[in-house]
Amino acid sequence: MFFQANNNLKPPYQVLVDTNFFNFSIQNKLDPMQALMDCLLAKAVPCVTDCVIAEMEKLGHRYRLALRLAKDPRFTRLTCDHSGTYADDCLVTRVEQHRCYIVATNDRDLRRRLRK
């Protein structure tokens, strides 16, 4: 129903991936690419912003595997023209400007902000 009402969302889906999604997929031993395609039942193009990469670098040693996964060439890297922005703010701003993205996250606060 949602995809029928929103004409900007068509396969292959552009999916913005958050730090929490990478962490969740590692903890549950999931391949993020396959998990996205299984969830959406269509081809997905996962995208990672510079702010998400910077957030993982700041989180340090605990997120080194997630950082390595985010830098995988299968993920499209989106550059950010702002500096020092919180990753969640970056994702919300990008979705508000370009309504062609789906966001993959487990962060309850981010989901709440995106629904508004």
- Please report the pLDDT score of residue 85 as a whole number: 76
Per-residue pLDDT of the chain (116 residues; tens, 9 = 90+): 455 556 667 889 999 999 999 999 999 999 999 999 999 999 999 999 999 999 999 999 999 999 999 999 999 999 988 877 789 999 999 999 988 899 999 999 999 999 88
Residue 56 host element (H or E): helix 50-59
- Please report the pLDDT score of residue 5 as a whole number: 54
pTM for the model: 0.86
- Please report the pLDDT score of residue 10 as a whole number: 83
CA dist 35 and 66 (Å) reads: 15
What CATH number does residue 64 fall under? 3.40.50.1010
- Please report the pLDDT score of residue 81 as a whole number: 84
Q: What does DSSP assign to residue 52?
A: H
- Please report the pLDDT score of residue 82 as a whole number: 82
CA dist 92 and 110 (Å) reads: 8
Query: Looking at the DSSP assignment, which residues form a beta bridge with residue 102?
Result: 15
Angle CA 19–23–28, to nearest 5: 150
What range defines the domain where residue 30 resides?
2-115
Domains in the chain: how many in total?
1
